[in-house]
Amino acid sequence: MAQQAAHNVKLFAMVVKKSCADGSCRTCPLGYYKDNSVYKFTSCQMCPANFVTSAPGADSMSKCNVYQCQAGFKIISSGCEACPLGYFQPEPYKSSCRKCPDNTSTRQNATVNATQCEAYCQSGSEKDATTGLCTPCKRGFYKANSDGVFNQCVMCASNFITASNGSTSAAACSVANCTAGQKTTSTGCVDCPKGSYQPNKWQPDCISCTTDKTTTSTGSKSGTDCILSCPPGKEDIAGVCVECKQGFYKSEQKASQCTACPANTTTAGNGSTVSTACNLIGCPVGHYQDSSTSCKPCGYGFYQPEKWQSLCRKCDTGSTTYRIGATSVTDCVLECPTGTQFNAGTGRCDPCPQGYFQDKLNPTVFECIKCGDPSVITAGPGATSAANCTVRNCTTLGQFRNSTTNLCQDCRIGTYQDTKWQDSCKPCLTGYTTRNTKTPSSAGCLRDCDAGKTQVGDGCTDCPVDTYRSKTTWTCQACPTGLKTVKVGGCVSQ
């Protein structure tokens, strides 16, 4: 570049010399001088090598005091200096360089044109060679613009990485370069402990296995390394750890089954971890634990379908059991009110029959109670108290209860009674009567024949010759001695 500039100056000087031949005077150009004190008719003289004048029209070689610095350089006291990165100079012989616009720089020193000022990425990011876009340095890389704005991201030393993307200095390479199965600490890499895993590198923590699962060793890299390991008090049920039921225990940490307590013993609850927890008596179904050494049957209105329980379950409101020691909710049936009893066949409450009552005073008695005095009964069904047993107990057929005297009385002739506990007798059909009082059935109602006639089958027939019948007798009678009948149906004197 310096040689080209010197050649240009010579050409200019030749032009000046030629121009001065026509008798006109022109100013010596930059880099030339003419000293009239030496000789007035000489042409402009070129400055010594590597120097130029500070301005045209120099009149002495002493004015050749400026270093001949070309474009891309600036003049300093000791000579020429290339414009540094981020600066340019399109003109020669300048004492300063021009600064690139903000966020741009040159890729090399001694840059001439502003077009060589190129946008650069901030520290922590690099320019994509294809798109020209800035992308953050990946984790494990960094870029400090103090080392060069156009540099690519630099990889950390092999045993360290950065904590995140976009790191701006080597000092950010402070995290241990841990692999999958490890976690990073302030002192380096540590294998994930048992019961945890880590599938990714460079992680500050390990991932804990889900509840009741663990790994067989340290340094696990996958959740599939977590296997079921039920703690004491739990057992493996279809791949899930479930508490040991009452009456069972498990003391070891593994996916095994709970162990049953010895016969007739149980635990206080679920999840027992030692055999000594089997310290309670094991009560059968339908019973509950009354103390540590005794069991009692569930009372009326309660049931228990499970063994080894400390309480019985209560029937729903409006239902009860009609026995103690009930074992199923199906034993809970309709609770009947006073004056009724439960009918297991229909599932309903039936009124107590006549002669019985139910006062609900004794829960152990769920059926209707027979009146205590056999000589009396209740007035009808549905009696609610023993005080209702006031009616004379007339059970003999052919009798009725006289409601006035409250005594049993025989049915009169012409009536009968085939049912107990009645307050009247039933009349025979018209034309029929009974032979006697206290007739127990309608079969005792016979044809009521007129005097002189007797019953034969279901009709009346005249008494035979020499016999008679009055209404006071039931059959024909022989005539008294000395008497005979003149016709059938009566007796006359002989």
What are the tens digits of pLDDT across the range 36-55?
888 888 899 989 888 888 88
For the stretch 72-104, pLDDT in tens is 999 898 889 999 999 999 998 888 999 999 999
3-state SS class at 259:
strand
Residue 149: Cβ-neighbour burial (10 angstroms; 0-12, 13-18, 19+): buried
Residue closest to 4 by CA, chosen among 68, 61, 65? 68
pLDDT in tens, the chain (494 residues): 444 444 444 434 433 433 355 668 899 998 898 988 888 888 999 898 888 888 898 989 888 888 888 999 998 988 899 999 999 999 988 889 999 999 999 999 999 999 999 999 999 999 998 888 999 999 999 999 999 999 999 999 888 889 899 999 999 998 888 999 999 888 889 999 999 999 999 898 999 999 888 999 999 999 999 999 899 999 988 888 999 998 999 999 887 899 999 988 888 889 999 999 998 888 999 999 888 788 999 999 999 999 888 899 999 999 999 899 999 999 999 999 999 999 989 999 999 999 999 999 998 888 999 999 999 999 999 999 999 999 999 999 999 999 999 999 999 999 999 999 999 999 999 999 999 999 999 999 999 999 999 999 889 999 999 999 988 888 999 999 888 887 765 554 43
In the numeric block, the tokens 């070129």 are attached to 46
Tell me which DSSP letter residue 379 carries. S
Name the region of 86 (left: φ>0; alpha: ψ -120 to 50; beta: rest): left
DSSP labels, 205-254:
SPEEPPTTEE-SSSS--SGGG-EE-PPTTEEEETTEEEEPPTTEE--SSS
